[in-house]
Amino acid sequence: KAGVTQTPRYLIKTRGQQVTLSCSPISGHRSVSWYQQTPGQGLQFLFEYFSETQRNKGNFPGRFSGRQFSNSRSEMNVSTLELGDSALYLCASSLTVPNSPLHFGNGTRLTVT
């Protein structure tokens, strides 16, 4: 079974631009979550989607948004990029059984210059 796939692996953007990251979950997984990892703040929850609906959201500004498609694939978008948005963005998928373990992708390394 293929794991969680995130594209692209690396991205370099300029302040003020916007970026879209993509995540394909494990087949059969309908819940997709996004996390931001930085050296200073560690791993922080961004949001979680299930059946195209956002069920949970972390404490991030509105510049961070996401969506999920009918095939469970998900995208997250960051608008008006700031230097502090440089981070590893991790996507995870899980089964619909409550509190199933999250299975993470390799992440997208975003650098904002």
Partner 1 sequence: AQKVTQAQTEISVVEKEDVTLDCVYETRDTTYYLFWYKQPPSGELVFLIRRNSFDEQNEISGRYSWNFQKSTSSFNFTITASQVVDSAVYFCALSEEEGKLIFGQGTELSVKP
Q: Is the peptide bond before 25 cis (omega within 30 degrees of 0)?
A: no
Q: Does 86 bind partner 1 (CB under 8 A)?
A: no
Q: Which stretch binds partner 1 (CB under 8 A): 16-24, 59-67, 71-79, 85-93?
A: 85-93
Near partner 1 by CB under 8 A: residue from 13, 67, 73, 103: 103
The rounded distance, in Å, linking the Cα atoms of 86 and 88 is 7
Q: Does 25 bind partner 1 (CB under 8 A)?
A: no
Q: Which of 31, 32, 19 is nearest to 87 (CA)?
A: 19
Rank residues 4 and 19 by Cβ distance to partner 1 and give the closer one: 4
Q: Which stretch binds partner 1 (CB under 8 A): 18-26, 55-63, 64-72, 79-87?
A: 55-63
Rank residues 56 and 71 by Cβ distance to partner 1 and give the closer one: 56
Q: Which of 3, 2, 7 is nearest to 108 (CA)?
A: 7
The rounded distance, in Å, linking the Cα atoms of 55 and 80 is 24
Q: Does 50 bind partner 1 (CB under 8 A)?
A: yes
What are the angstrom distances between the C-alpha of 51 and each of 4, 16, 26, 94? 17, 31, 14, 12
Residues that bind partner 1 (CB under 8 A): 3, 31-33, 35, 42-45, 48, 50, 55-56, 58, 88, 90, 92, 94, 98-99, 101-107, 109
